[in-house]
């Protein structure tokens, strides 16, 4: 094989491997922006209607573009998430789907984030701050406005278990954690 053909073949291999990298086996953040949402409005926001099972403990999404509204709290159960009003539901999501997430910190005195990781973590798992992929740690709310982050996240193109959780120390063990099935 002459040098010119080797270069062409090398180029083709590089192109294939970079297209494989475009659909990695982990969550990928595509876009993010910060905004403020009024506390009154935040409670009324809704995402894509899932198929709701087991009294809201499990949400199944059939589409590949999924809108989630994730709130922290409420105040009597602050170390938890509410997704469309349900506490830490199991999310069944198609592989390769795109998540459009509005995450709002409804807490009046603590920072929180929501991060996505492959694998089945438990409450006892120790993760460092900002582990995985997802939001920044959002500050607590002001007088009438809450801090929100709007994210577009690519779901891995691979079936398996994943986890969403808050990486502020002690928060996932306290209840800010939920499971995802990538189908
Ligand atoms: Cu938290």
CA of 162 to the centre of ligand 1 (A): 18
Distance 181 CA to ligand 1 centre (A): 22
Determine the distance separating the centroid of ligand 1 and the alpha carbon of 5, expressed in angstroms.
Answer: 55
Cα separation of 128 and 65, whole Å? 30
Residue 20 lies in a domain: no
Cα 84 to averaged position of ligand 1 atoms, centre (Å)? 18
70 — phi, psi (to 5°)?
Answer: -115, 120
Q: What is the pLDDT of residue 18?
A: 45
Task: Please report the pLDDT score of residue 4 as a whole number.
Answer: 59
Whether the Cβ atoms of residue 161 and residue 121 lie closer than 8 Å to each other = no
Residue 137: inside a domain: yes
pLDDT for position 24: 64
The number of domains in the chain is: 1
137 CA distance to ligand 1 centroid (A)?
8
Low-confidence ranges of the chain (pLDDT < 50): 12-21
What is the pLDDT at residue 3? 58
Distance 57 CA to ligand 1 centre (A): 20
CATH code: domain of residue 121: 2.60.40.420
The strands making up 81-83's β-sheet, listed across from edge to edge, are 28-38, 145-154, 98-105, 65-72, 81-83, 86-87
3 occurs within a structural domain: no
Q: Could you give the CA distance from residue 168 to residue 16 in angstroms, rounded to a whole number? A: 39
Report d(CA 110, CA 176) in Å as an integer: 13
Query: In this structure, is residue 87 part of a structural domain?
Result: yes
Beta strands in the chain, from DSSP E residues, in sequence order: 28-38, 51-53, 58-60, 65-72, 81-83, 86-87, 90-93, 98-105, 115-118, 133-134, 145-154, 160-165, 177-182
C-alpha 104 chain-centroid distance: 12
In a domain, 5, yes or no: no
Examine residue 130 and state whether it is found in any structural domain, yes or no: yes
Instruction: Determine the distance separating the centroid of ligand 1 and the alpha carbon of 30, expressed in angstroms.
Output: 23
Q: Which domain holds residue 120?
A: 26-182
Specify if 114 maps to a domain: yes
């Amino acid at each position: 094989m002459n040098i010119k053909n080797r270069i062409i073949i090398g180029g083709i291999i590089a192109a294939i491997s970079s297209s494989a990298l475009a659909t990695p086996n982990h969550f990928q953040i595509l876009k993010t922006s910060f905004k403020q949402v009024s506390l009154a409005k935040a409670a009324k926001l809704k995402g894509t209607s899932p198929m709701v099972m087991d009294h809201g403990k499990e949400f199944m999404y059939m589409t590949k573009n999924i809108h989630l509204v994730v709130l922290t709290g409420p105040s009597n159960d602050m170390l938890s998430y509410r997704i469309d009003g349900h506490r830490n539901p199991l999310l069944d999501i198609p592989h390769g789907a795109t998540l459009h997430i509005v995450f709002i910190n409804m807490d009046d005195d603590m920072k929180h984030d929501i991060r996505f990781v492959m694998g089945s973590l438990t409450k006892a798992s120790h993760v460092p701050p900002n582990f995985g992929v997802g939001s920044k740690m959002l500050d607590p709310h002001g007088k009438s406005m809450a801090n929100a982050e709007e994210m577009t996240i690519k779901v891995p193109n691979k079936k398996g278990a994943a986890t969403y959780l808050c990486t502020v120390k002690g928060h996932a063990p306290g209840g800010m954690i939920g499971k995802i099935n990538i189908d």
